Amino acid sequence: MIPNLPGIHIVATGHYAPPKVVTNDDLSEIIDTNDEWIKKRTGIERRHFSEGETNTDIAVNAAKEALANSGIDVNDLAACIVATFSPDYYSPSVACMVHKELGLPEDVPAFDINAACSGFIYGLEVARGILLQSEKKYLLLCGSEIISKVLDMEDRGTCILFGDGAGAVVIELSEDKQYVSYLGAKGNSDYIFVPNADDEKRKVHMEGNNVFRFAVTTVPKCIEEVLKKANLSKDEVTHYVCHQANKRIIEGVASKLDIPIEKFYMNLMEYGNTSAASVPIVLSEMNKDGMLKPGDKIVCVGFGAGLTWAGVLIEW
Ligand code: COA
pLDDT score for 196: 75
pLDDT above 90 for 201: no
Tell me what percent of the residues of the chain surpass a pLDDT of 90: 91
pLDDT score for 271: 98
Domain residues for 274?
Answer: 179-315
Overall average pLDDT of the 106-127 stretch? 98
- On average, the pLDDT of the chain sits at 95
Task: Tell which atom from ligand 1 comes closest to the C-alpha of 305.
Answer: 48
In a domain, 1, yes or no: no
CA angle (242, 235, 244) in 5-degree steps: 10
From ligand 1's centre to the CA of 145, what distance in Å?
22
Catalytic (active site) residue 246: no
- Ligand 1, CB cutoff 6 Å, lining residues: 33, 37-38, 41-42, 117, 156-157, 160-161, 206, 208-209, 211-212, 245-246, 273, 304
Catalytic (active site) residue 48: no
Q: Name the active-site residue from 15, 48, 99, 243.
A: 243
Q: Name the active-site residue from 24, 55, 114, 273.
A: 273
pLDDT band at residue 205, thresholds of 50, 70 and 90? confident
Same domain, yes or no: 96 and 203: no
Rounded to whole angstroms, the Cα distance separating 277 from 213 reads 22
From ligand 1's centre to the CA of 152, what distance in Å?
15
**Among 275, 215, 280, which Cα is nearest to 14's?**
280
The per-residue pLDDT for range 213-222, each reduced to its tens digit, is 999 999 999 9
Single residue among 156, 174, 192 that ends a domain in this structure? 174
The per-residue pLDDT for range 2-37, each reduced to its tens digit, is 567 999 999 999 999 999 999 999 999 999 999 999
Q: Is 221 exposed, middle or buried (0-12, 13-18, 19+ CB in 10 A)?
A: middle
Rounded to whole angstroms, the Cα distance separating 227 from 221 reads 10
Rounded to whole angstroms, the Cα distance separating 205 from 11 reads 37
pLDDT score for 286: 98
Catalytic (active site) residue 117: yes
What single-letter amino acid sits at 1?
M
At 185, which CATH number? 3.40.47.10
The per-residue pLDDT for range 133-184, each reduced to its tens digit, is 999 999 999 999 999 999 999 999 999 999 999 999 999 999 999 999 999 9
From ligand 1's centre to the CA of 151, what distance in Å?
15
Same domain, yes or no: 256 and 183: yes
pLDDT score for 241: 98
Number of domains observed in the structure of the chain: 2
